[in-house]
Structure 1
Amino acid sequence: MDPIRDPYPVLARMRSACPVHPLTDRSGRTGGYLVLGYDEARQALADPRLSKNTAAFFADKAGGRNIHPALSQTMLATDPPDHTRLRRLATSAFTSGAVGRLRPAIARITDELLDQWPAEGEVDAVASLAVPLPVTVICDLLGVPEEDRDQLRAWSIDFFAAGAPERTDRASHALARYLEQLTAAKRSSPGDSLLDALIAARDEGARDGSDRAGGDRAGNDRTGGDRLSEAELVSLAALLVVAGHETTTAFLGNALLALLDHPAQLDLLRSEPERLPKALDELLRYDPPVAQATFRFATEQVELGDTVIPPGSPVLVSPAAANRDPSRFADPDRLDLTREAGGHLAFGHGIHRCLGAQLARAEAEIALSQLLARFPALRLAVPRDQLTWQPTRLVRTLTALPLSVASA
């Protein structure tokens, strides 16, 4: 079985053998650890001894890569206190109140997208809903011009491409250059977007506290308090662009496919649509958008379960494996929308838990609700085994989801 198409049998075998699986190179030497068990994953995601400061880890290693720092040194790749400061600056846009104010716009965008679907016929739910909905929402939030949004999406796809390091590196530089240019344009003609607010906070902080600025190992200006350096401003914007829609696209596609694969569960949701907000947890548990969390490394010896991880070891956590650990979720390979699936790790855990989790849930809830209400006879338009996923082990994303549709 192709582990990209269906990673769960392989993950189950590995988890059963060892919930913290050593990763070995061709010579048999251990080069890191993959965390597969639920308890171990939850600990690892919140353990401060497992650092996210990848710049520090790779400082003395010749990796031969050329990823732009705006993408390689985002908030996801920092520890406190920098992480705390950067997250605080972005949090206001993703509170429950802020997301609640976005819901009418999300519903309007969803309606406009579904209005373009045929009343009878075939449509690709990824290209016509799962991609444009979160892209439009995050680009609206950041003030990205409409004519640039397809290009941003293309760079994001390239950035996540597995086994294509040159493609990933080129995309990182293209996206960073674009955001530098967008930032300059907004300084000349300010608006009311989140990016405009971050620029204003950056510029005000630079005027008020430039004498306190220091320097990092890359020579970028660093500022104290709740201030952003110019490099951090571009990096935060890049993270919001990439993470702000890629995982939601994956979530929508995976959730819709899971429902189509389980007609009885789909019928339950149609007959009891009020279940949907809580059912999202089970859909996230069953096939999460992030199959493998981003890189960590041990700053000191760490014990995860029965495994001792030496200092300096890379550690990867698999939410996909942890969410199907039978010690936490009974009969985990079964989709059950009546299950109490709270506590899943699809959005991570601890201080690095997904900042946009509430926005992703709102987009999925609104999109699935309107889709199921307007098209009561959805079914796959191709054999199930013809579906393909993007070739990456990080974000689990369908390349397309061809559907036969019929309206009410």
Structure 2
Amino acid sequence: AMRKVVRREDLPALGQQAEAMAESIVAAAPGRIEVVDTLVRRVTFSVLGDYFGVPDPAGGDLRVWGTRLFEFQFVGSMSDMELRAEVDQIAPALRTHIQNEISRRRGDPGKDDILSRCLAEQKAGTDGFSDDQIRTSLMGFIVGGPPQPPMVVPQALEQLLRRPEALAGAQAAARADDDDLLWRYVQEAMRFDPLAPGLPRNVLTDWTLAKGTRRERRIPAGSTVMAAFASAMKDPRRVADPNRFDPDRPASDYIHFGYDLHQCFGIHINRATLHRMLKPLLKRANLRRAQGRRGRLHKNGPFAASLTVTFD
């Protein structure tokens, strides 16, 4: 149902909004900026929250709510009682917040966004747009979407900073407003530190992998297997010279967003916005790491936590 209201023709405006907000943040910075929270997280939640039609809740922070729910769903543990207690409060609060927005906007749809389009479909009697279905979809968008760019975009910048020639190429693309080339630089940087290095999956029945080959392996039911995206994108049997930074690689060398039935719903939004968030920063002269620990990418588990850069 959501494919009726999340439209490809929205992508140019989303890219422009991401770049414009990033430019305003970078322009206001005194030659120094923390990339994860101050830049990417602010841009992502502001632009996408506005697009979805889900504003910040009164007395809450959508950035915190979405990120903590993402952490619990994708990397959390049921044994982490502190996180569980937090999400037990956040989840119903977000659900109530979105339902309140649905009720408020029904009488006054206002601007064109995902929520207003959903309500128009509901009014027209289209299947898949009950209040429950709209609320569930918007919750999924908030939890599964905006928390991810603040993880992977700083990681991509870190990889560029490690490679002066690649950084210079990305900066030249940014300054030339060559967004297609800039995307290829960011996509290639992501290959060296992808958002999801691998996805664990539970084996439901006994299975033989690569049967009849020397790689044949029996996997018993109850096992956990890892679909290792990071190593797959560096497999020399499939990827030419995998340790070389090459922004002109074929699309088949990348599996950042999955394929077919498992392809990320937000692939096109990501491809329209991720590089545009970095573009204003990459345009700055003498872009470099801040001195000391702040100038290195720090992670909290799988999450990028901080990376500070300076520029002239």
TM-score by length of 1: 0.63
Change in 2 beyond 3 A, CA 1:349/1:241: same
CA contact (8 A) 2:35 2:309 kept: yes
Change in 2 beyond 3 A, CA 1:130/1:230: same
Choose from 16, 25, 29 the match for 1:117. Answer: 29
Report the CA distance between 1:303 and its aligned residue: 4.4
Identity %: 24
Residue deviations 1:363-400 (CA, integer Å, cap 9, x gap)? 12222222211343332333379642132xxxx43111
Residue deviations 1:260-285 (CA, integer Å, cap 9, x gap)? 11122112333455431322331232
Match of residue 90 from structure 1: 3
Match of residue 397 from structure 1: 303
Change in 2 beyond 3 A, CA 1:297/1:100: same
Match of residue 197 from structure 2: 291
Report the CA distance between 1:341 and its aligned residue: 5.4
The whole-number CA distance in structure 2 between the counterparts of 1:204 and 1:256 is 45
Residue deviations 1:57-93 (CA, integer Å, cap 9, x gap)? xxxxxxxxxxxxxxxxxxxxxxxxxxxxx4xx23642
1:245 aligns with 2:146: yes
Change in 2 beyond 3 A, CA 1:383/1:197: same
Change in 2 beyond 3 A, CA 1:197/1:149: farther
CA contact (8 A) 1:253 1:397 kept: no
CA contact (8 A) 1:285 1:341 kept: no
Match of residue 256 from structure 1: 157
The whole-number CA distance in structure 2 between the counterparts of 1:374 and 1:325 is 35
CA contact (8 A) 1:94 1:359 kept: no
| CA-based RMSD | 3.0
Change in 2 beyond 3 A, CA 1:155/1:333: farther
Change in 2 beyond 3 A, CA 1:386/1:288: closer
1:103 aligns with 2:15: yes
Show the 5 A alignment for 1:158-307: 158-159=68-69, 160-161=71-72, 162-163=76-77, 164=80, 165-166=83-84, 167-191=86-110, 192-205=112-125, 226-273=127-174, 274=178, 275-293=181-199, 296-297=201-202, 302-305=207-210, 306-307=216-217
Report the CA distance between 1:240 and its aligned residue: 1.0
Change in 2 beyond 3 A, CA 1:227/1:268: closer
Change in 2 beyond 3 A, CA 1:285/1:261: same
Choose from 128, 132, 143 the match for 2:42. Answer: 132
CA contact (8 A) 1:287 1:320 kept: yes
The whole-number CA distance in structure 1 between the counterparts of 2:266 and 2:184 is 18
Residue deviations 1:204-227 (CA, integer Å, cap 9, x gap)? 43xx7xxxxxxxxxxxxxxxxx42
The whole-number CA distance in structure 1 between the counterparts of 2:152 and 2:296 is 20
Report the CA distance between 1:135 and its aligned residue: 0.8
Report the CA distance between 1:346 and its aligned residue: 0.9
Report the CA distance between 1:115 and its aligned residue: 2.1
Choose from 230, 237, 261 the match for 1:327. Answer: 237
State the SS of the aligned residue for 1:347: coil
Choose from 371, 377, 380 the match for 2:281. Answer: 371
The whole-number CA distance in structure 2 between the counterparts of 1:137 and 1:304 is 43
CA contact (8 A) 1:94 1:356 kept: no
The whole-number CA distance in structure 2 between the counterparts of 1:231 and 1:316 is 34
CA contact (8 A) 1:135 1:149 kept: no
Change in 2 beyond 3 A, CA 1:150/1:338: farther
Report the CA distance between 1:331 and its aligned residue: 4.4
CA contact (8 A) 1:260 1:379 kept: yes
- Counterpart AA for 2:259: H
Change in 2 beyond 3 A, CA 1:128/1:282: same
Moved more, 127-136 or 187-196: 187-196
Residue deviations 1:6-56 (CA, integer Å, cap 9, x gap)? xxxxxxxxxxxxxxxxxxxxxxxxxxxxxxxxxxxxxxxxxxxxxxxxxxx
Report the CA distance between 1:332 and its aligned residue: 3.2
Residue deviations 1:218-251 (CA, integer Å, cap 9, x gap)? xxxxxxxx42343332121011112221122222
- Counterpart AA for 1:399: A
- Counterpart AA for 1:280: V
The whole-number CA distance in structure 2 between the counterparts of 1:151 and 1:373 is 30
Match of residue 213 from structure 2: none
The whole-number CA distance in structure 1 between the counterparts of 2:295 and 2:173 is 30
Count of matched residue pairs: 292
Match of residue 143 from structure 1: 53
Q: Could you tell me which runs of 5 or more consecutive residues in structure 2 were left unpaired when the two chains were aligned.
A: 211-215
The whole-number CA distance in structure 1 between the counterparts of 2:169 and 2:134 is 45
TM-score by length of 2: 0.80
Report the CA distance between 1:183 and its aligned residue: 1.9
Match of residue 346 from structure 1: 256
State the SS of the aligned residue for 1:399: strand
Report the CA distance between 1:98 and its aligned residue: 2.2
Change in 2 beyond 3 A, CA 1:364/1:385: closer
